[in-house]
Structure 1
Amino acid sequence: MTLAQAVVDGADPEELARLEVPTTFRAAHTRKNEVGMFGRRPHGVDDVDKDITKSIHVDDVPMPELAPDEVLVAIMASAINFNTVWTAMFEPIPTFAFLERFGREDPRHDQNFHVLGSDASGVIVRMGAAVRHWKIGDRVVVSPAYVDEQDPITHADSMLGADLRAWGFETNYGGLAEFAVVRATQLLPKPKHLTWEEAACNMLCASTAYRMLVSERGSRMKQGDVVLIWGATGGLGAYAVQLVKNGGGIPVGVVSSEEKAALLRRMGCEHVVDRSQFEHLNDEKAWRRLGAEVRRQVGEDPHIVFEHTGKETFGASVYVARRGGSVVTCGSSSGYAHEYDNRHLWMKLKRIVGSHGANYQECHEVNRLLALGTLQPTLSTVYPLDQTGDAARAVQLNKHVGKVGVLGLAPAEDLGVEDRALRERIGEDRIRLFRS
């Protein structure tokens, strides 16, 4: 019996420890010799299609050695994040530059392939000599922050560490594979009432949204705060809506279709803005119309604007935030070169809060909310590992809601549930809302 099959069959820890680790495993990856495959975008042309189904490959890669502080996780499921899309587009820079730089410290990562994926659930099958608190056979989810625990700042807030890396984006051997190399400081217990794919889809986006909204390092949302959420049914936004509602805030979700608006309302988000009414958000007239629509629905301006789309929306976000309010941003999926009218920032005492990922404690808090059933997965669809390129393409083209999952070793969906009583109390309609 192979180690992979033993994990699928639910073998006990002793059996897992006895079986040999394979020398190769299947993984979704990009290739260094294809970095220039899409060519250069012509000057003034923004719509060249970089079809990432052409740059994502699923094939065997060699199994690396483990460092003392690492574990080998047999991956049951993973999920697509936008950093996988950036990696496969080789933008804004090819991620092999990250791997080459990291390779000066740890040569294992500097390879001619890059195994992708910053989310995962699975089973520990091997441990480095320095790993504590975990054992072979433990069912885990993986948080994405790959930090240096010997850096003093890490013990205040690991997001400030100079060597902070996003696992599976700035490191090799990520989660879109049959096996993954994970630091012990990334591990959290898998919520027992969730399936493998439901558990795998949460940590990057949910913890990022938590830090942006709830953490003392973010916008510090309080009860009654009006929060404007761009992309409110997307990977980040759908967790933001839940966190705002759970915390006593008032979410105002921005979406681009009536289908997404209907989903928002099923989530309990009463205030919905149709973005198609404001297609060109690059002038103050459009910003005013957006602000007027929010006031029409809620009666006041947003205390917080939840930003991750970037170039297309940032000027509007700065404008519509109330006097003394804040714009909290964690990314720029539509472009990094933001433009906004600074008068509306300084004269009205607004703040821009930069937020990146989440530290281990924040990830723990989010995982606790998931385990309690007060935060729900936003999984909408699931692909097999061999179709990782198609899964990532759906996210690239924004043809999805919530999170897109990918099965690793799990032979089918809906496996891995241990606590069916809790699942029944929460209700399938809540857990599977995005699947409908």
Structure 2
Amino acid sequence: MTVVELTDVGDMPPVGEVPPRMRAQLIRPERYGDPVQAFVEEIVETPMPGPGEALVYVMAAGVNYNNVWAALGRPVDVVAQRQRAGETEAFHIGGSDASGVVWAVGEGVTNVRVGDHVVAHCGVWDAADPWITGGGDPIIASSARIWGYETNWGSFAQFTRVQAHQLLPKPANLSWAAAAAYMLVGATAYRMLNGWPPHTVRPGDVVLVWGGSGGLGSQAVQIARAKGAVPVAVTSGQERGEFAVRLGARGYIDRRNFDHWGVIPDWRDDKAFGAWMSGARAFGKALWDVLGERRNPRIVFEHPGEETIPTSIFVCDNGGMVVICAGTTGYHAAVDLRYLWMRQ
């Protein structure tokens, strides 16, 4: 049987027949910078699955913010980091969301078969990690990595190599594109809202959701609403705010109406700190206006980071929680400790 050496994007080889080479959008260190220039289509060898792994023909790939970090080469040089761990590839194939078809499986794989339609979650880990074998949460194990960011062979290629446990059945009612869009942000949002008892979302809780129209935020709004909570979205503009409302938000706050964002000023600088406090209080009032009552959020769903953390902590209710998964505006999260120790 003759095996096709390489196919064009969109040309699917016979199921189970693995071309020796594939097309991929990949990053090399010499191109680190703007993602538009950093990602370039190249032809590379198709990776074959090892024990416990699977090769998936990618039908659609989701885009996440970690792809921006990988392209910039900062705060982590993803290629150098993997090479220090012993890997040899001088390139990085990003992509931490995918829908596709199982094309080949490695030794010991029993949960999927060639031809299965699947989606992939982004958690990769060593199944023999003592933390995991002892019953610990795999995603916080020391061996845990994010596929397509901290590992190579992500979904921005014709084929992606994954650990077989990452694969779950593709929802039959979703298109390939829709199925590739929800897993990373949905799993992250669910964990943020439900993974830290006793601070799990409850019926009636006010939940402030930053970026309420984006990937993470849109999932958080829907999860909070499904749990009976009262999500309030923060967006940039009316169109995005109305989208969040259609998803289930009580209302939205347009962050463009405020200018106090950024690292909180030193409390001894009366003028600067006073200006920041005025902005934070105005933001809190806008939240009350959306709710129609003076209630603060029990949970603040954070991911912008540097620009918004001070305000998130200021508006969070006594005994509440600010939960964060990223720092898309920066990583310097200065806080006013008075609101941590006084409000618990």
TM-score in terms of structure 2 length: 0.89
Structure 1 residues 157-216: Cα deviation after superposition (integer angstroms, max 9, x where no partner) = 012211111101011100011000010121111001111000011111010000000234
**Cα separation, partners in 2 of 1:329 and 1:295, compared to 1, 3 Å:** same
The 8 Å contact of residues 5 and 20 in structure 2, kept in 1 or not, is answered as no
**Cα separation, partners in 2 of 1:170 and 1:10, compared to 1, 3 Å:** closer
The alignment status of 1:124 with 2:102, answered yes or no, reads: yes
**Cα separation, partners in 2 of 1:139 and 1:2, compared to 1, 3 Å:** farther
The 8 Å contact of residues 124 and 138 in structure 1, kept in 2 or not, is answered as yes
| Structure 2 CA distance for aligned equivalents of residues 209 and 297 of structure 1 | 23
Shift of 1:308: 0.4
The equivalent of 2:284 in structure 1 is 291
The equivalent of 1:406 in structure 2 is none
Shift of 1:284: 2.0
| Structure 2 CA distance for aligned equivalents of residues 257 and 94 of structure 1 | 34
**Equivalent residue in structure 2 for 1:327, among 299, 303, 322:** 322
Structure 1 residues 255-302: Cα deviation after superposition (integer angstroms, max 9, x where no partner) = 111111221222232221111111223422211111122123222011
| Structure 2 CA distance for aligned equivalents of residues 296 and 232 of structure 1 | 17
The equivalent of 1:151 in structure 2 is 129
The equivalent of 1:417 in structure 2 is none
**Runs of 5+ consecutive residues of structure 2 not aligned to the other structure:** 265-275
Query: Structure 2 matches for 1:163-202, cutoff 5 A?
Result: 163-202=143-182
The equivalent of 1:136 in structure 2 is 114
| Structure 1 CA distance for aligned equivalents of residues 105 and 150 of structure 2 | 22
The alignment status of 1:316 with 2:311, answered yes or no, reads: yes
The 8 Å contact of residues 6 and 20 in structure 2, kept in 1 or not, is answered as no
The equivalent of 1:74 in structure 2 is 57
Shift of 1:117: 0.3
| Structure 2 CA distance for aligned equivalents of residues 121 and 213 of structure 1 | 25
| Structure 2 CA distance for aligned equivalents of residues 32 and 62 of structure 1 | 19
Query: Structure 2 matches for 1:359-374, cutoff 5 A?
Result: none
**Equivalent residue in structure 1 for 2:26, among 16, 26, 29:** 29
**1:286 is matched by which residue type in structure 2?**
G
| Structure 1 CA distance for aligned equivalents of residues 94 and 140 of structure 2 | 24
Shift of 1:51: 2.7
The equivalent of 2:232 in structure 1 is 252
| Structure 2 CA distance for aligned equivalents of residues 315 and 127 of structure 1 | 48
The equivalent of 1:400 in structure 2 is none
**1:291 is matched by which residue type in structure 2?**
G
The 8 Å contact of residues 229 and 252 in structure 1, kept in 2 or not, is answered as yes
Aligned-residue Cα RMSD (Å) equals 2.1
| Structure 2 CA distance for aligned equivalents of residues 168 and 229 of structure 1 | 26
Shift of 1:152: 2.6
Range that drifts further, 272-281 or 191-200? 272-281
The 8 Å contact of residues 27 and 59 in structure 1, kept in 2 or not, is answered as yes
Shift of 1:8: 6.9
**2:106 is matched by which residue type in structure 1?**
G
Query: Structure 2 matches for 1:411-422, cutoff 5 A?
Result: none
3-state SS in 1 of match to 2:56: strand
**Equivalent residue in structure 1 for 2:79, among 96, 99, 112:** 96
Identity among equivalent positions (%) equals 38
The alignment status of 1:230 with 2:235, answered yes or no, reads: no
Shift of 1:97: 2.5
The alignment status of 1:53 with 2:50, answered yes or no, reads: no
The 8 Å contact of residues 70 and 78 in structure 2, kept in 1 or not, is answered as yes
The 8 Å contact of residues 121 and 140 in structure 1, kept in 2 or not, is answered as yes
- After TM superposition, the runs of 4+ consecutive aligned structure 1 residues lying more than 6 A away are 7-11
The 8 Å contact of residues 210 and 234 in structure 2, kept in 1 or not, is answered as yes
| Structure 1 CA distance for aligned equivalents of residues 259 and 187 of structure 2 | 30
**Cα separation, partners in 2 of 1:217 and 1:86, compared to 1, 3 Å:** farther
The 8 Å contact of residues 125 and 143 in structure 2, kept in 1 or not, is answered as yes
3-state SS in 1 of match to 2:333: coil
The 8 Å contact of residues 48 and 55 in structure 2, kept in 1 or not, is answered as no
